[in-house]
Every structure is written in C-alpha cells, then in structure tokens.
Amino acid sequence: MRILAVNHGPSVGPELFGDVVRSEGHELVEWPIEKQGAPPRAGYDAVLVFGGDQNVGEETEHPWLHEEYDALRAWVEDETPLFAVCLGAQTLSHALGGNVTRIPTGQLAGFYETTLTDAGVADQVLGVLPRTFDALNANAYEFTVPPGAVDLAAAPFAQAFRAGACAWAVQFHPEVRHDQFLGWLVEGEATLPRPLPEIERELETKLPTWQQHGRRLCRAFLAQ
C-alpha cells in the first residue's frame, strides 16, 4: 500500500507508526502540510495525520488549516482509511462539525487512565487495546465527538472516535519515541501540569508498554 503521512512540524512525524508501516512492506510518503499546503486527496490507500503545536482556531496564523479540513472531509467521504492523532484528531473533529476548545484545567502531559466504551471494545482498531489503559497525552486542547461519529474511548476528556466507514481519531499519542516526547516536555516546561522530573520518571516506567500498544494499534489500522 501507499500511505500518506501528514505532518505539522519536524518533531511530530510518524515515528513508531512509520516503523510499523515500513516493516510490513508498505510505502510511506510524508507530507509537511505547513510547508507544502494542501495534501493530495487521491493516489493513496490510507492516510495518517499526526500532532502539532498549532490549534483549531488559528487559521489566520496557519491558513493551511483550511486545506487540512477540506482534505479530511474528502477522505472521510471517499472512505479512504484514515488515522488521526492529537492535532489531527482535533482538526478531524472540527472538519466534521465537532468542537475544539482549550482544556479548562490547562496543559495535559503524561499518562492518563483511559477506558474504552463498549463500542471501543468492539471496534476493529481500538479494540486491540485493553479495556482500561494508561494513555500518553500532550495537549492543551480537547475535542468533542462530532455528530454521527462513534465515541470509542474517554478519560476525563474525549479520547477517541470513529467517523464514517473507516476514519479513526485519538487524542493520545500512540506513535511517540522517548526522546521525542521529552523534547516536547522541555519545550513546554513552563506550562506543564506537574514537575518535569516527575513526568520523566513516569515516562521511563510506562513508555515500553505504551509503545507495544501503539505498534499493535498501527497494525490493526493497516489490517483494515
């Protein structure tokens, strides 16, 4: 398969998902949307959309967000398999009529207990995860499940949904590497909800299991 990976910056690429895609013999084409603008809407068997430090509502500063919304709607309508992470999940929610707002309690960073809904347990992609698991988050905005979509997982905030025939969105980060996530923490240390050393210790303990979940999630998506 040819798989398109839409990126929003150099530190938010496919990472573990890229490893899985290539190890299974697929072609991965990365598209830095903030530099290249509208991504191609055809010619790919599946699409991955990753995170970024931009936000829904910042279209004046980042006008390419409008092109991303249009592309997301087109992929859902065309039933192109789609997996969106963090900012990608937020832009997908917005594109489909959901709401994206700043989290009232501030920045989220670290692991948060997350539970699959009954629909999540039955889902062919999210269902490969345990019913309850610690999910790695790094975000200051949250989405609502858009109209017509299926709520798949929740923590104190929405964590995942499925839209249309084959579009999945997750707020958490199943693709991250250790040093990548630490870089995000250092860059945003002033807004962290807890002291940096505390989050680092949690990362050392929980990341190996989390990365196993991430690889399993990616394989389940590719199988669809």
Where do we find the tokens 């539970």? 115
The boundaries of the domain holding residue 156 are 2-223
- pLDDT tens profile 175-212: 999 999 999 888 877 788 889 899 999 999 999 999 99
Confidence (pLDDT) at 186: 85
What pTM was computed for the model?
A: 0.96
The CATH number of whichever domain residue 110 belongs to comes to: 3.40.50.880
Nearest by Cα to 47 from 19, 78, 23, 10: 78
Question: Cα(169)–Cα(183) distance, rounded to whole angstroms?
Answer: 24
pLDDT at 33 over 80: yes
What is the per-residue pLDDT for 23?
97
Q: What is the amino acid identity at position 98?
A: G
Closest CA to 75 of 107, 39, 127, 22: 39
- CA triple 5-57-85, angle to 5 deg: 30
pLDDT of amino acid 188: 79
In the chain, the DSSP E strands lie at: 2-7, 27-32, 46-49, 82-85, 100-102, 108-116, 132-139, 141-143, 150-154, 158-163, 167-170
- 108-147 pLDDT, tens digit per residue, is 899 999 999 999 999 999 999 999 999 999 999 999 999 9
Beta bridge partners of 110: 137
Provide the number of structural domains found in the chain.
1
Beta strands 27-32 and 150-154 are unpaired
**pLDDT tens per residue, range 38-53:** 999 899 999 999 999 9
Name the packing angle between helices 196-223 and 16-23 (round to 10°): 30
Give the residue, 160 or 184, on which the prediction is more confident: 160
b/e code 79-102 from CB counts within 10 Å (16+ = b): ebbbbbbbbbbbbbbbbbebebee
DSSP state for residue 61 in the 8-state scheme = T
Q: Kindly tell me if the per-residue pLDDT of 16 is higher than 90.
A: yes
Q: Which residues have a Cβ under 8 Å from the Cβ of 2 and sit 6 or more positions away?
A: 26, 27, 29, 43, 44, 45
Q: Give pLDDT, residue 47.
A: 98
Residue 163 scores a pLDDT above 90: yes
